[in-house]
Structure 1
Amino acid sequence: MIIKKIFNNNAVVAKDCANREIVAMGCGIAFKMNIGEVLDESKIEKTFILKEKEASERFKLLLEDVDSEIVSLCYDIIEYAKNLLDVELNDYVYVTLTDHINNAIKLQKDGFNTSNVIIWEIRKFYSKEYAIGIKALEFIQEELGVELPEDEAGNIALHLINAQVNKRCNIKKDVSKQTKMINDILNIVRYTYNINLDENSLSYERFITHLRFFFQRLNKKEFYCDEENEEDSEDFLLNQVKKKYKNAYSCMLKVEKYLEIELSNEEKLYLTLHIQKVTIN
């Protein structure tokens, strides 16, 4: 690989044999090196090949201002998240998360703490991402000696949630709005039935999962009622469920009114069934 740009002793931009632009990092990787020289690949510890051009350019700008130690740590956090979540993450997360953690560390050292007003909802609805955020705080303390507040676990989780990429199209979700709406729907169910929901039950977990995917479909506008294409079987099943689970169906209609959209019969069916299951545990 040929060195094209040197950020510091530990980070460079290089071109490989396939003429791809790569950010390479390693302790002393660029020490006493010059642009145009061949990079000693034995010193490479991490490489970044960002497919999205804008993300790549922003990441290179970030390297000029952020310590390579922090960049390297954020890389490890993102790779750790990819393995645990088993999802594809948008390239831009390398920029957004690194920038956020760098600023959080600066604020902490200056005696300032930022709060996360929806940390409770994140912990509740995005438990995997939140657990990764907690682990990230441990990594930061171990590697950098900086103890960030627990609210930062929620902020890190938000970056991971926003970076999750749908297989058919890239959608950055408005997570704050989504979590509020999920909580509102749960409250509609609670107040309608005048009960406390068992948040540790499998039916509760499945209901939350259904709502999360529902809002993904909503963002892609796949939720509108389409009478011409609906199957007769769905109409029949919905009518049966409507008769059998009158309270759950009535509650579903309240949810539909709250959402201010007309749901398809299929969505009405599944929402009613989930409400029925989550209220009988």
Structure 2
Amino acid sequence: MIIKKIFNNNAILAKDSSKQEIVIMGRGVGFKKSVGDQVDENLIEKTFILKQKDASEKFKLLLEDIPTEHVSLCYDIIEYAKNMLSVELNDYIYITLTDHISYALKLFDEGLNRPNALIWEIKKFYPKEFEIGLKALDLIQSETNKKLPEDEAGNIALHLINAQTNNSSNKVEDIAHQTKMIQDILNIIKYTYNIALNEKSLNYERFVTHLRFFFQRLNKNEKMEKEEDDFLLKQVKTKYKKAYECMLKIQKYLEKELSDEEQLYLTIHIQRVTQR
């Protein structure tokens, strides 16, 4: 591999035999090296191959502004997250999460932190991502000797949730907004039925999962209409009258006209989640 650019002593950009660009990190991998030199493969510790061109370009810019140690630390966090979630994460996670954590460490040094108003909702709706966030805080403390607040575990979880959407145009703020809306919808159901929902039930878990994908469809303006939905909706409307009325309240809250299919499945989920 040939060195194409040197970011610092510990990070370089190289090209392999197939002309593919690779970001390489390793202690001393760029020390006393010049563009055009061969890469000392014995010094390679981590490699980044970002398939999305835009993400790759932004990542290279990030390397010029952020300490290599922070990039390496975030690489470990992201690889851990991939293994735990067993899903592909959007390449942009290497940019957004690295930038976020590096800035969080900077704020920590200044005695500041960013409170997360949705911390309890994130714990409830995205427990796996939140647990990874907590593990990330342990890794950060181990590497930097800085103990970031639990709010940051929630912030890290939001980045991981966003990276699972396969849509680089999504923003973490959008995921945070969706999380709040899920809680609002659950509150509408609680107040309509005057009950506490069983958050450990399978029906509750299914409903929250349905809402996550429901919001993804709304954001993409996707509507999946089937011919039989109108007939089924009329039956459900009669059989589960209260659940249907609750669904109409949710539709009003969303300020969107839902398709028959969305109304149908939302009503059925409401009926199931409110059953004792």
TM-score where L is the length of structure 2:
0.94
Identity %, equivalent residues? 68
Query: 3-state DSSP class of the match of 2:88?
Result: coil
After TM superposition, the structure 1 = structure 2 runs for residues 1-281 of structure 1, keeping only pairs within 5 Å, are 1-166=1-166, 170=168, 172=170, 174-223=174-223, 230-232=226-228, 234-281=229-276
State how far apart, in whole Å, the 1-side matches of 2:17 and 2:122 are: 44
Ranges in structure 2 where 5+ consecutive residues have no aligned partner: none
Which amino acid in the other structure matches residue 26 of structure 2?
G
Which amino acid in the other structure matches residue 12 of structure 1?
I
**C-alpha contact 1:88 1:165 (8 A) present in aligned 2:** no
Tell me by how many angstroms 1:171 deviates.
Answer: 5.0
Tell me by how many angstroms 1:114 deviates.
Answer: 1.5
**C-alpha contact 1:87 1:165 (8 A) present in aligned 2:** no
Query: 3-state DSSP class of the match of 1:29?
Result: coil
Tell me by how many angstroms 1:132 deviates.
Answer: 1.0
Tell me by how many angstroms 1:109 deviates.
Answer: 1.6
State how far apart, in whole Å, the 1-side matches of 2:269 and 2:197 are: 12
**C-alpha contact 2:92 2:168 (8 A) present in aligned 1:** no
State how far apart, in whole Å, the 1-side matches of 2:155 and 2:209 are: 21
Tell me by how many angstroms 1:221 deviates.
Answer: 0.6
C-alpha RMSD over aligned residues: 1.6
Tell me by how many angstroms 1:279 deviates.
Answer: 0.6
Query: 3-state DSSP class of the match of 2:36?
Result: coil
Deviation sequence 1:45-99 (CA, Å, 0-9, x none): 1111112233222212221222212111101111111222222222121111111
TM-score where L is the length of structure 1:
0.92
**C-alpha contact 1:165 1:171 (8 A) present in aligned 2:** no
Deviation sequence 1:136-179 (CA, Å, 0-9, x none): 0011111221110000011111111222234xx65515112211
Query: Cα distance 1:171–1:64, how it changes in 2: closer, same or farther (>3 A)?
Result: closer
Count residues in correspondence: 274
Query: 3-state DSSP class of the match of 1:31?
Result: coil
